[in-house]
Chains A and B, each alone.
Chain A
Amino acid sequence: MITATSATSDTVINNERREHIMNCRETRAAVDAASSHNNMMSGAEQHLASCPDCRQYSAGTFQLIALLAAQPRVEAPADFDFRLKARIARARDERRGWAGAIHGFWLRWFSWKEAAATLAMLAFVTVTATLYLTRRGDTPRSDVQSTAAVAQRVEVKPTPAPPSIETREPAIVGLSGPEGHRPPRGNAGSVRPSVVTERMMTRTTAAPVEIGGAQEILIYQPGRSGQPGLSRSVILPRHGQVMWGAQLVGVQQAAGTRPASSHSAVETF
């Protein structure tokens, strides 16, 4: 019972406090809106009589307003009209000339809204075109660019004095047969070229894949005993020249062979 009574009295106090705050807010808004004490609403006057904070606020505001209103007003100088007429006459003369024609055109036709809309449209078209041209992957390239791209893909490193095309053509055969030319080998890694049968050779080289104007030919290498067979890719440019000394990255597993644990060896031949 006691608890209920105290809760009720708290609610009453809170309501009064809330009402007081609202009244303060309204009164201060009325003080801000009024230019002097005379223009105050009667309700605000009643509140000011009972609220010292608002009274102080009101007094400070009206003192400030009085201080600002007491600022001396400056007046235009005596020759204001004369100077203005001179400026108007000068402006009329300018308007009659070419500058005036442009100014007239500007005034008659120019619109800030239209100019802003045009600029926004131009910016949109520019951005769209830039994005379209940048993201288009199949942009036509020259042969030189294509070869450069392929060389970049296989990380071609220059090697000293490659043999001529004529000797290189059978080099593939040599790579795939014991009687052919066997190219020098560098870091063999886990891949060692070995005898490739004619059948394998035929199968693997039958379907060259076009890569940006070059051909990728898979050369099958049978593994050692107990090891999976591997295939290596050789990049041939469009005219059939073997790229000697290329480091082949990512040795691929030949189709139909057992998977190996790792085929990421780098082979130099």
Chain B
Amino acid sequence: MSTLTLTAGLNDAREAPETQRPSVDPIAGQTPVGEMDDHALLEATRTGDEIAFQEIVRRYRNLITNFVYRMLNDYDRAVDLAQETFLRVFMNAERYQANYSFSTYIYRIASNLAISELRQRKRRRLVPIPTFTSDKDSGEVEIDLPDTRQTRADDSMIEDERRRAVGRAITSLPEKYRTVVILRDIEGKSYEEISEVLGLSDGTVKSRINRARNLLKEKLKEYL
């Protein structure tokens, strides 16, 4: 019952698999939502068409989740922030102005949320935490690392290790370099799109991408 209450007013399509999702507006004479562009979908959302909003969510949920995950390297928080992104799109649909593409708009919201989260984490990290060392005087953290000679025997393990290393390298980048390199090399955005998402000039974006790649080359030189 509570589920029905929560979803009241929205088209209850969650039970249907993605392939069976209604892609055509039942009202005759209207363009199917699957064929509408993003601006039209948001315009329809503004007028209360929740099917149109579902189509927006369907198009962008994986992209935004992946982007935020790459920014934070934390899946649960990434899903949470991706939902927050869509919530803001929905609640502020009336204020949306189609100056840029919708993709730019939603990525800007997501990147702002991710950057805020990173800054909060950075502040929290300043609080001293107890170290898990056996020798308190040494101040060194003892971590049991896997034996690399054994793991490299397995190709899949090597591949996993490489992916983890790339993820760690991305996470270790400063926030301003991390954002641009993810948008460029993982999300495949153009320089113009990145500069619109981040509100930076093209020159700044190119410079940051170059710097970020050089840093990553240093960190990942054993994998290159």
- The reply to whether the CB of B210 lies closer than 8 angstroms to some CB of chain A is yes
In the complex, which of the residues A67, A74, A82, A107 contacts B92, with contact meaning CB atoms closer than 8 Å? A107
Name the interface residues of A56-93: CB closer than 8 Å to any CB of B.
Answer: 60-61, 63-65, 67-77, 79-92
Question: Contacts A83-B83, A88-B10; is A61 near B166 (CB within 8 Å)?
Answer: no
Question: Contacts A32-B206, A80-B83, A89-B8; is A95 near B61 (CB within 8 Å)?
Answer: no
Stretch at the interface among B28-36, B96-104, B185-193: B185-193
- The reply to whether the CB of B23 lies closer than 8 angstroms to some CB of chain A is no
Q: In the assembled complex, which residues on chain A have CB atoms less than 8 Å from the CB atom of B95? A: 107
- The reply to whether the CB of A33 lies closer than 8 angstroms to some CB of chain B is yes
Given A75-B62, A89-B6, A107-B92; 10 other pairs, CB 8 A cutoff: A32-B209, A60-B217, A63-B224, A64-B185, A68-B186, A75-B66, A80-B79, A84-B86, A86-B7, A92-B9
- The reply to whether the CB of A35 lies closer than 8 angstroms to some CB of chain B is yes
- Measured CA separation A127–B103 after assembly (Å): 45
For the side of the interface on A, what is the size category? 35 or more
Of all chain A residues, the one with the shortest Cβ separation from B87 is: A87
- Measured CA separation A84–B56 after assembly (Å): 12
Is there an interface contact between A74 and B78, defined as CB atoms closer than 8 Å?
A: yes
Q: Smallest CB–CB gap between B161 and chain A, Å?
A: 13
Q: In the assembled complex, which residues on chain B have CB atoms less than 8 Å from the CB atom of A32? A: 206, 209-210, 213
In the complex, which of the residues A60, A63, A71, A87 contacts B186, with contact meaning CB atoms closer than 8 Å? A71
Question: Contacts A61-B213, A72-B163, A86-B7; is A67 near B79 (CB within 8 Å)?
Answer: no
> Would you mind naming 15 contact pairs between A and B with Cβ atoms under 8 Å apart?
A32-B213, A35-B185, A35-B188, A65-B185, A68-B170, A74-B75, A74-B78, A76-B61, A81-B14, A81-B54, A84-B86, A84-B87, A88-B90, A90-B6, A91-B87
Taking beta carbons and an 8 Å cutoff, which residues of A are in contact with B? 29, 32-33, 35, 60-61, 63-65, 67-77, 79-92, 95, 107
For the side of the interface on B, what is the size category? 35 or more
As a 0/1 sequence over residues 61 to 77 of chain B, the CB contacts with chain A under 8 angstroms (1 = contact) are: 11001100110000100
Q: In the assembled complex, which residues on chain A have CB atoms less than 8 Å from the CB atom of B186? A: 68-69, 71
- Measured CA separation A76–B82 after assembly (Å): 9
Is there an interface contact between A64 and B14, defined as CB atoms closer than 8 Å?
A: no
Q: In the assembled complex, which residues on chain A have CB atoms less than 8 Å from the CB atom of B198? A: none
Is there an interface contact between A85 and B10, defined as CB atoms closer than 8 Å?
A: yes
Is there an interface contact between A91 and B163, defined as CB atoms closer than 8 Å?
A: no
- Measured CA separation A70–B210 after assembly (Å): 19
Is there an interface contact between B162 and A77, defined as CB atoms closer than 8 Å?
A: no
Is there an interface contact between B87 and A88, defined as CB atoms closer than 8 Å?
A: yes
Is there an interface contact between B65 and A74, defined as CB atoms closer than 8 Å?
A: yes
Is there an interface contact between B61 and A74, defined as CB atoms closer than 8 Å?
A: no
Is there an interface contact between A60 and B224, defined as CB atoms closer than 8 Å?
A: yes
